[in-house]
Structures are given as C-alpha cells and as structure tokens.
Amino acid sequence: MPTKAAHQDRKIDDAAFGAIYGSITVMGVLAVSTPDALTAVEMAAMLFASILAVALAKAYADLAANVLSSGRPASWDMVVEAWRHGRTTLIAVNVPTLTFLGSALGLYDVAMAHTLAKFLAVSLLIFYGARIGFRLTGKLLPMFMGGAVAGTVGLSLALLKTFIH
C-alpha cells in the first residue's frame, strides 16, 4: 500500500505538466506587460484571467481529444477528468497573482510585484526541473542540472515570446 508521502509525490508529479506550462505562460504574459501601464489589481486580474483561459482551453482540448478517440459523446466523468488535468496550469499563477495583490495593499510597488512574479514563475520551473533530475537518478548533480535547464528553457521561451510580441 502506498504511503502518504508516496501519494503526495505522485500528486506533485502529476501536476508537473500544468505547472511547467503555466509557469512558462505566466512568464510570457509578464514579459509582454509593463508594470507602469496597469494598476496592481488590473495586473493581478489580467494575469489570473490569462492563465485561467489557458487552463480552460487545455481542458477543452483534452475533452475534445478524448471524445474523438473514444467515439462517444462527452460524459460528466470525461469533463471532470479533463478539468482535473487542465487545472494544474493554475498552480503557476496563484502566488504571482498574490504578489500583485500585495502591491495593491501597499506592501511594495507594482514594479517590485512584477519582478517577484517573474522570479516565482522561474522558481517553479527550477523546482520541477530539479525534481525531475532527482526523481530520475536520486543524485544531486542531475537535480541541479535539471533545475538549471528548466529555468533556462523557461527564460528563453519567455524572451522569445517578448521578441515575437
């Protein structure tokens, strides 16, 4: 019987796709936004709404793919399963959104919230990259390399998105 820690590890691993995809999307949204153009509340709402839209789109795409592959109409169970997988994208936006709400409360300015949000998005990528490296090998060097690679890939994609927009 799996232990509680093993179950928690599985939940963290199952969320990897959404958390990684969400982090890269958060960085992309932040890369094309300027902290002086919107208030902290507007930034929080825009960031959360953007990632929610991505989560909903992912859930819908999973549902459509499942309907097509199964050859049967969508059931409530299929909708729930699609959302269960799609909602993991929201993991990446919660804390960055809270940084903007902290700015709205006057704890720091919007530019600092913007910087913190980017830092947190990259940190989540580094966490998952390191986790992957460690889970595959159980060694520290691959853990550090996985974190560095994931962080670099995320930053590169965000920069690419900035140049495209």
The DSSP secondary-structure symbol of 71 reads T
The pLDDT, as a whole number, for residue 99 is 96
Please list the ranges in the chain whose pLDDT falls under 70: 1-2, 5-10, 12-13, 158, 161-162, 165
What pLDDT sits at residue 75? 93
Distances in Å between the Cα of 16 and the Cα atoms of 6, 50, 68, 90, 126 are 15, 19, 25, 11, 12
- The label of the residue with tokens 């927009």 reads 165
Global pTM exceeds 0.85: no
Q: What is the pLDDT of residue 59?
A: 93
* Chain segment 30-66, per-residue pLDDT in tens: 888 887 888 999 999 999 999 999 999 999 999 999 9
Is 81 in contact with 56 (CB distance < 8 Å)? no
